[in-house]
Structure 1
Amino acid sequence: MAEPFLNVAGADVYYGASQILFGVDLFVERGQTMALLGRNGAGKSTTFKMIAGLAPPRRGTVVLAGQTVSGRPSYRIARSGIGYVPENRQVFPEHSVDDNLIVGAKKGPRGDSPWCREQIYEVFPILASMKARMAGRLSGGEQQMLTIARTLMGNPDLLLLDEPSEGLAPLIVQAIGELIKKLRGMGVTILLAEQNMHFCLGIATHATVIDKGQIVYRATIDELRHNEEIKHRYLAV
Structure 2
Amino acid sequence: MTGGTNGSTAGDVILKVEGIDVFYGASKILFGVDLEVGRGRTLALLGRNGAGKSTTMKAIAGIARPRKGSITMEGQNLAGERPDIIARAGIGYVPEDRQVFTMHSVEDNLLIGMKKGIRGQEDWTLERVYDTFPILARMKDRRAGLMSGGEQQMLTIARTLMGNPDVLLLDEPSEGLAPIIVQAIGDLIRTLRETGVTIVLAEQNMHFCLGISEDAAVIDKGHIVYRDTIAGLRANEEVTKRYLAI
TM-score, reference length from structure 1: 0.98
Deviations 1:132-178 (A, max 9, x none): 11111111101000000000001111000000000000000000000
Separation in 2, partners of 1:53, 1:102: 22
Separation in 2, partners of 1:133, 1:148: 17
1:128 paired with 2:160, answer no
1:67 paired with 2:76, answer yes
Q: Equivalences for 1:37-76 in 2 at 5 Å?
A: 37-76=46-85
Separation in 1, partners of 2:32, 2:49: 19
Cα contact 2:172–2:204 (8 A) shared by 1 = yes
Deviations 1:159-215 (A, max 9, x none): 000000000000000000000000001111000000011101111111000000000
1:47 maps to a residue whose letter is: T
Q: Equivalences for 1:53-132 in 2 at 5 Å?
A: 53-132=62-141
Q: Which contiguous aligned blocks of 4+ residues in structure 1 show a shift greater than 6 angstroms? A: none
Pairwise CA distance, 1:3 = 6.3
Q: Equivalences for 1:151-166 in 2 at 5 Å?
A: 151-166=160-175
More divergent stretch after superposition (66-75 vs 24-33) = 66-75
Deviations 1:81-109 (A, max 9, x none): 11000000110111111111011101111
Separation in 2, partners of 1:71, 1:87: 21
Match of 1:143 among 144, 152, 165: 152
Separation in 1, partners of 2:125, 2:233: 36
Match of 2:196 among 187, 193, 208: 187
**In the alignment, what sits opposite 1:21?**
30
Separation in 2, partners of 1:17, 1:146: 35
Q: CA RMSD in A?
A: 1.1
| SS in structure 1 at match of 2:121 | coil
Q: Which 5+ residue runs of structure 2 have no aligned equivalent?
A: 1-8
1:108 maps to a residue whose letter is: G
Question: Aligned residues, how many?
Answer: 237
Match of 1:211 among 200, 220, 227: 220
Pairwise CA distance, 1:71 = 2.3
Pairwise CA distance, 1:36 = 0.2
2:44 maps to a residue whose letter is: A
Cα contact 1:3–1:66 (8 A) shared by 2 = no
Q: Which 5+ residue runs of structure 1 have no aligned equivalent?
A: none
| SS in structure 1 at match of 2:189 | helix
Cα contact 2:62–2:82 (8 A) shared by 1 = yes
Cα contact 2:12–2:39 (8 A) shared by 1 = no
Separation in 2, partners of 1:3, 1:111: 21
Report percent identity of matched pairs.
68
TM-score, reference length from structure 2: 0.94
Cα contact 1:53–1:72 (8 A) shared by 2 = yes
1:200 paired with 2:245, answer no
